[in-house]
Amino acid sequence: MAKIPTKIYLTEEELPRAWYNLRAFMKEKHEPFLNPATLKPCTADDLRPIFCDGLIEQELDQTTPYIEIPEGIREFYNMVRPSPLTRAYYLERELKTPAEIYYKFEGNNTSGSHKLNSAVAQAYYAKEQGITRLTTETGAGQWGTALAMAAAFYHLDLTVYMVKVSARQKPYRRAVMETYGAKVIPSPSDTTEAGRKILAEFPETGGSLGCAISEAVEVAAAAPDCRYVLGSVLDHVLLHQSVIGLEAKLAMDKFGIVPDVVIGCAGGGSNLGGLIAPFMGERLQGKNDIRFVAVEPASCPSLTRGRYAYDFGDTGKTTPLMRMYTLGCGFMPSPNHAGGLRYHGMSPTLSKLYHDGYLEAVSVEQTKVFEAAVRFARCEGILPAPESAHAIRAAMDEALRCRESGEKKVILFGLTGTGYFDLTAYTAYHEGKMSDYVPTDEDLKRGFDSLPDIPQNREARA
């Protein structure tokens, strides 16, 4: 066997030409979205005022295993991809572990994360449909930056509602989006009904993704040439992100590497869903026995402490209802939490896989996440995004267990992005000012009380 190189880059010809639709390989699909007014399954027509047609088609397609990537999107992927699959030789040496550690690094682009994979697809389908304006929300700023880049490439107007506390912590994120021509509005704002309502109730709030989504959706729904786009949670987003897993698997196959465990951080689930897609698809067909691990912050533990219920995607309770693991759309994460992954819910597909026992989940506290981030940065060179460092933490812990047991496990994790815009958080860590807030049972109860009071939620609300 040839020595495995530190980094494996696929050539342009090897890049995937079709996305991998994981749902097509699931015997049991997740429950359909419900129209909150009728409690009946959503139709394409229900979604049309908000989402682009091409994306609705993908969202509702649970059966086509491979969906072709249009030429106009592959052109953009050629610009920003492939991302390297890296063997973490230096981290292995640092940890003195017999485990082999690999990571798929999605941070080598200006948005600094994997978000670009879906941003470009969503902008492309909007353009195809003759849409001229997009709205979205952003938390840590990665999604907003990614969409700003995509909107600039396809010459679309873009308004980004940015969670207020992030806008404050990350002024440079805003400057990047503006460089790419986007308009950035800290959320909640007084520019929307939803924003004004939240401000009236919580004038001091640092905002949340849920609030920002409400604002962005409201604006899009009111204008026929405008659509809303979302950076995570939904199935079409996971579909686009499957390029991560497809590239990773192709690179590993070339060198005969088979992972024992695949680890990813999980906020809304897009990175994890994309990374695991082809591996999980084979697992569901009985072709492998890989373990899959979602890592979430202890401060926003939707899988590990949430409930499997129908919930809104936003705080303003305007979106369709999705059955997912959720802390309740009224859950407000601590403003001191710096590590991203603040969303109250989790991708319905990942929720279903977790519920059915195919996916594990762990939660980690912030200080330990940053500890892992700094150790990783010093030996592997890359300064990780706090989000990504959740996966690093779990991968390191797995590798350290291998040191104890002597097992030569093969670990693959997703390094979703870089922390260049998160240095306020790193400085807080260096100064010992990191918050390790974990919600109390009462905090969680307040969130669960916000779950829709519908027959389907009787058990979950109990």
Q: Can you give the binding site for its own copies, defined by CB under 8 A?
A: 5-7, 9, 11-13, 78-80, 90, 108-110, 112, 149, 152-153, 171-172, 175-176, 178-181, 374, 377-383, 418, 420-421, 423-424, 426-427, 430
Residue 453 Cβ, how far from its own copies at the closest point, in Å?
A: 46
Q: For 170-320, list the strands marked E by DSSP.
A: 183-187, 226-228, 261-265, 291-297, 307-312
Cβ distance to its own copies smaller for residue 109 or 208: 109
| CA 435 to each of CA 172, 374, 426: distance values in angstroms, whole numbers, following the listed order | 23, 17, 12
Q: How many CA atoms lie within 13 A of 109 on its CB side?
A: 29
Smallest gap from residue 78 Cβ to its own copies (A)? 4
In the complex, the smallest distance separating the C-beta of residue 100 from its own copies, rounded to whole angstroms, is: 16
Closest approach of its own copies to the CB of residue 429, in Å:
9
DSSP state of 266: -
Report the half-sphere exposure of 337 (CA within 13 A, side-chain side). 26
- The tokens of 57 are what? 């088609």
For the CB of residue 81, give the shortest distance to its own copies in the complex, in Å.
9
- Which is closer to its own copies, CB of 199 or CB of 434? 434
Q: Which two tokens stand for residue 153?
A: 């490439």
Alpha carbon of residue 143 to chain centroid: 9
β-bridge mates for residue 157, sequence order = 133
15/438 with CB nearer its own copies: 15
Do residues 177 and 220 make contact, with C-beta atoms less than 8 angstroms apart? no
* Eight-class DSSP state of 31: P
Going by DSSP bridges, is the β-strand pair 291-297/183-187 parallel, antiparallel, or unpaired?
unpaired
Q: Are 384 and 414 in contact (CB under 8 A)?
A: no
Nearer to its own copies, 65 or 171 (CB): 171
Closest separation between CB of residue 425 and its own copies, Å?
9
Q: Are 228 and 134 in contact (CB under 8 A)?
A: yes
If the CB atoms of residues 79 and 200 are measured against its own copies, the closer one turns out to be 79
For 80, the token pair is 């920003």
Phi-psi region of 144 (alpha: psi -120 to 50; beta: other; left: phi over 0): alpha
Closest distance of CB 414 from its own copies, Å:
18
Closest CB to its own copies among 145 and 302? 145
Nearer CB in complex with its own copies: 379/438:
379
CA distance 161 to 194: 12
In the chain, the amino acid numbered 105 is: F
Q: How far apart are CA 381 and CA 236, in angstroms?
A: 33
Find all residues with CB under 8 Å of 352, minimum gap 6, and list them: 26, 28, 29, 30
CB nearer to its own copies: pick between 78 and 405? 78
The least distance separating its own copies from the CB of residue 168, rounded to whole angstroms, comes to 15
**Beta carbon of residue 160, minimum distance to its own copies (angstroms, whole number):** 16
Q: Would you say 286 or 381 has its CB closer to its own copies?
A: 381
Show the tokens assigned to 210. 């849920």
Nearest residue (CB) to its own copies, 242 versus 418: 418
Contact call for residues 93 and 379 (beta carbons, < 8 A): yes
Cite the DSSP H helix spans in 9-70: 44-47, 53-60
Phi-psi region of 341 (alpha: psi -120 to 50; beta: other; left: phi over 0): left
CB of 413 to its own copies, least distance (A): 17
